[in-house]
Amino acid sequence: MQVTGGKTMRFETATRAAGLARLEAFIPRMGKRYAAGRNFDLGPERHLDVSGLSPFLRRRLVLEEEVVEAALAAHGAEGAEKFLQEVAWRGYFKGWLEHRPAIWTRYRDGLSQDLTALERDRALRRELARAEAGQTGIACFDAWAQELVETGYLHNHARMWFASIWIFTLGLPWRLGADFFYRHLLDGDPASNTLSWRWVAGLHTRGKFYEAKAWNIAKFTGQRFLPRDAELAVVTKGLEDTEPEGLPPGTPLRAPSAMAEGLPSLLLLTEEDCGLRAAELADWSLSGCLALEVSHLRSHRDVADAVAGFERAALEDAAARLGLDVQIKRAGDARDLARWAKACGARQVITGFVPRGPLRDWLDEAQLALTAEGIALCEWQRPWDAALWPHATAGFFKVKKALPRILGQRQLI
């Protein structure tokens, strides 16, 4: 849970109603107050100037366009500029990774290598355990590690400081840090998480890295933490030498396969999109509906129970709002999807667009079995993604510059 202003705000209620209530409560703070206070991490009891909407946006219990529309209505484009840009960051990272899927493959394969090395290295296992338990002796870092495990949340600025200390001060493998976050964050997203850690490490924007500095931590935690300069590494170079091949060139975005009208279909709900509305199903010839639990695919290590619980509640809420009788299955053998589709007589499987990440890997394998049975895999894509992702080819500046045009295209302004 997250505690705000002395009142407990429980993230475990993964429903659209809870997300909309949080959105409504934060609307007054989406303007100048957000711009002025968003970088301050004043502690788990005082996360007042950030919205806490990310776990709901992650599963599309609340849609980006709904949040943007609310901010514009209350504060206007100029007043809400910084908030709108931060909403766009998540879409930027997703689009960027879609243009460079090889980066996800590098992370996935590199993490497997790091975990294999961990099995052989007793000293590394000891240091990793101390870091994850918040027992390094660096007060701010230890507090953030414990907050993450206990609440499933960390302030964005704290995530940057934490990653920098993990990489440059403690000298731990960055992918193990990204894995630690991904296993515990309720808003854990393969693109945002992987690319944020790469950015801190100096791998996302070559030659640029993020250095955690004592004065910066003291200032933006309201003097809650006062680390000594000697506690933190002085960073002069990122980890770009570990990837001498550099970034792969961008590739065209993958186009989703459209569904065929009239074919008996299996609706597959996943945490990638729990925002489908009943009216949208009117013309779909559904022969079955499944909800797929996939949180355990995030890592070979144990994923936090709170993450799995939040995902399951989101799927249950999505099914209830659609008024469908939905079985909840756990993603195991990818060939099961073809078996489930055949069992209900489906000739196509319909699901929300699944970008790069562990679920996409699972679906790529599942698609082989579907194809062998003559069953198509079809996806619907949110217009927000379709409008924003084409601009996510380089740095965020391109998206930032295009944002007014995107908002106009979506008729939000």
Check whether 206 has a pLDDT greater than 90. Answer: no
For range 218-240, the mean pLDDT = 97
pLDDT digits (tens, 9 = 90+) for 363-404: 999 999 999 999 999 999 999 999 999 999 999 999 999 999
Same fold, 2-98+388-409 and 265-380: no
Enumerate residues 6+ apart whose C-beta is below 8 A from 289: 266, 267, 268, 269, 319, 322, 324, 325, 326, 327
pLDDT digits (tens, 9 = 90+) for 328-363: 999 999 999 999 999 999 999 999 999 999 999 999
The dihedral of CA 99, 105, 108, 110: what is its sign?
negative
C-beta neighbour count of 118 within 10 angstroms: 15
| Closest-CA residue to 269 (of 63, 61, 97) | 61
Task: Calculate the CA dihedral of residues 269, 274, 277, 280 and round it to 10 degrees.
Answer: -50
- Distance (Å, whole) CA 277 – CA 282: 10
pLDDT digits (tens, 9 = 90+) for 165-202: 999 999 999 999 999 999 999 999 999 999 999 999 99
Confidence of residue 12 (pLDDT cuts 50, 70, 90): low
Check whether 5 has a pLDDT greater than 70. Answer: no
pLDDT for the residue numbered 325: 86
Q: What percent of the chain has pLDDT over 90?
A: 92
pLDDT for the residue numbered 413: 80
Provide the 3-class DSSP secondary structure of residue 170. Answer: coil
Report whether 288 contacts 267 (CB < 8 A).
yes
For range 254-274, the mean pLDDT = 95
CATH number of 265-380: 3.40.50.620
b/e burial code for range 133-160 (CB count within 10 A of at least 16 → b): ebebebebbbbbbebbbebbbbbebbbb
Instruction: Enter the pTM of the model.
Output: 0.96
Token output for 315: 């799927």
Check whether 265 has a pLDDT greater than 60. Answer: yes
- Distance (Å, whole) CA 95 – CA 254: 10
Strands 327-330 and 376-380: unpaired
Question: In the Cβ-directed half-sphere of 89, how many Cα atoms lie within 13 Å?
Answer: 15
Kindly provide the residue ranges of all beta strands, DSSP E only, lying in 124-275, ordered along the sequence: 265-269
Token output for 257: 């396969």
pLDDT for the residue numbered 11: 63
b/e burial code for range 191-215 (CB count within 10 A of at least 16 → b): bbbbbbbbbbbbbbeeeebbbbbbe
Q: What class has domain 2-98+388-409?
A: mainly alpha
Check whether 283 has a pLDDT greater than 50. Answer: yes
Token output for 112: 């497997």
Token output for 386: 């379709």
| Average pLDDT in the chain | 95
pLDDT for the residue numbered 282: 84
Cα 177 to its chain centre, rounded Å, is 15
Report, in this order, helix, strand and coil percent for the chain, each rounded to 5. 55, 10, 35
pLDDT for the residue numbered 387: 96
Check whether 8 has a pLDDT greater than 80. Answer: no
pLDDT digits (tens, 9 = 90+) for 130-167: 999 999 999 999 999 999 999 999 999 999 999 999 99
Q: Report the amino acid identity of residue 65.
A: E
For range 112-128, the mean pLDDT = 98
| Structural domain 108-242, CATH architecture | Orthogonal Bundle (1.10)
Q: Give the residues across from 330 on adjacent strands.
A: 293
Check whether 93 has a pLDDT greater than 60. Answer: yes
Token output for 81: 């500029």
| Closest-CA residue to 203 (of 255, 242, 158) | 242
Confidence of residue 6 (pLDDT cuts 50, 70, 90): very low
- C-alpha angle with apex 370: 365 to 373, nearest 5 degrees? 140
Q: Report the amino acid identity of residue 324.
A: L
| Closest-CA residue to 186 (of 12, 8, 64, 24) | 12
- Distance (Å, whole) CA 216 – CA 292: 42
pLDDT for the residue numbered 2: 40
Residue-range domain boundaries for the chain: 2-98+388-409, 108-242, 265-380
